[in-house]
């Protein structure tokens, strides 16, 4: 084994490299080289650094030697030169297909590893992140999904009905509210992945554990948000109490009030169904979404954000 390669940095050099890492106009590969120098200066071995960046050991050695001979300027490519691109558009198209078809989440490091294992293309996670972001693939929150269980015909019919209700609400003919429940506990599924800008990765729902704080919320866009909290699960009595209040509000307003909601058990329990006629007499109506179509309820996004916080 040859002599260990080690660089030493002054306080000024360390500060310069750290600031370089945060610069927004510097190429990612230059930032990676700056990190290589800093890691080596703090005592990391060349092999350790190579494994971290998924680089060849000789690439790390060349980076350190360029720093020793040229200093800060050695982190940039010489004019008219540059590393030849090791990937093609077909490689990125492959990763896009993986993101759309694999029922799992991916970090930049995991995508870089998959690209190397499946197509023998070696890119650092930082460089791959830069390429993906230019293509609209970003790090973002995922959501759980039941889409495979949906009935397309029923969904289409209900969506048309919901569109009519929203038009009536916009005209001031009705008050339209969206209802949802969610719970907070000490455990949650993996919730972030690289995915396409404007779209959301979906995962099949998994079982949750831990003590639960349940929240029942009613949202009237741009007007109000009403909610109730209980420890444990929401019961029919909690739901009925909130709907009783909405029925009284509808009677006082003199305008029909429609509550959009899913088919939760407390929404359709026997004791709840016994209240439907009385609520309708006061001007309160319930609109049930089709099964497994919770994304049709616009309150879902806001409640998910609150749950994450």
**What is the DSSP track for 147-159?**
GGG--HHHHHHHH
Taking residue 107's Cβ as centre, other Cβ atoms within 10 Å add up to 15
Residue 53: partners with Cβ closer than 8 Å, 6 or more residues away: 32, 35, 36, 60, 124, 125, 126
* More confident: 6 or 184: 6
How does DSSP classify residue 196?
E
pLDDT at 304 over 50: no
| Structural domain containing residue 298 | 151-189+205-308
What is residue 188's predicted lDDT score, i.e. its pLDDT? Answer: 55
Per-residue pLDDT tens over the stretch 13-62: 888 888 887 887 788 888 899 999 999 998 889 999 999 998 999 999 99
96 and 57, same structural domain? no
Judge if 24 and 172 occupy the same domain: no
Residues 60 and 31 in one domain: yes
Q: 167 in a domain, yes or no?
A: yes
Query: Which string of b and e fits 222-252 if b means at least 16 CB within 10 Å?
Result: eeeeeebebeeebebebbbebbeebbebbee
Same domain, yes or no: 290 and 214: yes
Q: Tens of pLDDT along 192-207? A: 677 777 776 666 655 6
For residues 160 and 288, membership in a common domain is answered with yes
194 is a domain residue: no
In a shared domain, residues 102 and 34 = no
- Judgement on whether residues 158 and 38 belong to the same structural domain of the protein: no
C-alpha gyration radius of the chain: 28
Q: For residue 200, tell me if it sits in a domain.
A: no
Dump pLDDT digits (tens) for 227-243: 999 888 899 999 999 99
51 found inside a domain: yes
What pLDDT, on the 0 to 100 scale, is given for residue 159?
Answer: 93
Q: Is residue 95 part of a domain?
A: yes
Residue 274, domain CATH: 3.30.420.10
Same domain, yes or no, for 116 and 255? no
Mean predicted confidence (pLDDT) in 159-171: 94
- Looking at the domain assignment, is residue 170 inside a domain? yes
Query: What's the chain's average pLDDT?
Result: 85
The predicted pLDDT at position 278 comes to: 97
Beta bridge partners of 184: 213
Residues 164 and 302 in one domain: yes
The answer to the question of residue 84 being in a domain is no
- The whole-angstrom separation of Cα 20 and Cα 59 is 20
- Please state the rounded mean pLDDT for residues 102-112: 87
* Together in a domain, 209 and 261: yes
- Give CA–CA dist 247/244, Å, rounded: 5
pLDDT for the residue numbered 309: 43
Q: Which residues of 277-295 are buried (b: 16+ CB within 10 A; e: fewer)?
A: eebeebbbebbebbebbbb
Per-residue pLDDT at 2 exceeds 60: no
pLDDT at 1: 44
Give residue 86's pLDDT. 72
Tell me: pLDDT of 187 over 80. Answer: no
Confidence bin at 208 (pLDDT 50/70/90) = low
| pLDDT in the model for residue 213 | 84
Render pLDDT for 249-284 as a digit per residue (tens, 0 to 9): 999 999 999 999 999 899 999 999 999 999 999 999
pLDDT on residue 306: 46
Domain count, the chain: 3
**Tens digit of each residue's pLDDT (9 = 90 or more) over 64-80:** 999 998 888 888 876 55
Residues 261 and 167 in one domain: yes
Q: Are residues 122 and 222 in the same domain?
A: no
What DSSP string runs through 219-237?
EETTTEEEEEEEES---HH
Q: What is the pTM of this model?
A: 0.48
Flag whether 80 is in a domain.
no
Which of 172-176, 290-294, 300-304 has maximum average pLDDT?
A: 172-176
């Amino acid at each position: 084994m040859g002599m260990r390669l080690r660089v030493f940095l002054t306080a000024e050099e360390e500060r310069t490299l750290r600031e370089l890492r945060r610069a927004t106009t510097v190429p990612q590969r230059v930032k990676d080289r700056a990190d290589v120098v800093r890691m080596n200066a703090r005592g990391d071995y060349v092999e350790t650094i190579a494994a971290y960046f998924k680089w060849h050991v000789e690439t790390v050695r060349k980076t350190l030697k360029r720093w020793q001979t040229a200093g800060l300027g050695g982190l940039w490519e010489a004019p008219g030169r540059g590393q030849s691109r090791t990937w093609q558009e077909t490689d990125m198209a492959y990763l896009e297909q993986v993101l759309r078809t694999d029922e799992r989440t991916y970090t930049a490091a995991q995508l870089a590893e998959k690209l190397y294992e499946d197509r023998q293309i070696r890119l650092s996670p930082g460089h791959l992140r830069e390429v993906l972001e230019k293509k609209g693939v970003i790090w973002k929150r995922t959501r759980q999904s039941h889409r495979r269980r949906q009935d397309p015909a029923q969904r289409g019919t209900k969506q048309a009905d919901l569109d009519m209700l929203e038009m009536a609400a916009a005209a001031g003919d009705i008050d339209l509210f969206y209802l949802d429940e969610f719970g907070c506990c000490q455990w949650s599924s993996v919730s972030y992945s690289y995915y396409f800008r404007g779209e959301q990765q979906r995962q099949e729902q998994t079982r949750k554990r831990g003590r639960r704080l349940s929240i029942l919320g009613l949202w009237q866009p741009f007007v109000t948000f009403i909610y109730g909290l209980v420890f444990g699960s929401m019961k029919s009595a909690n739901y009925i109490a909130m709907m009783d209040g909405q029925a009284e509000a509808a009677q006082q307003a003199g305008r029909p009030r429609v509550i959009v909601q899913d088919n939760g058990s407390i929404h359709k329990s026997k004791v709840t169904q016994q209240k439907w006629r009385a609520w309708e007499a006061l001007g309160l109506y319930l609109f049930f979404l089709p099964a497994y179509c919770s994304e049709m309820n616009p309150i879902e996004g806001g409640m998910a954000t609150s749950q994450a916080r």
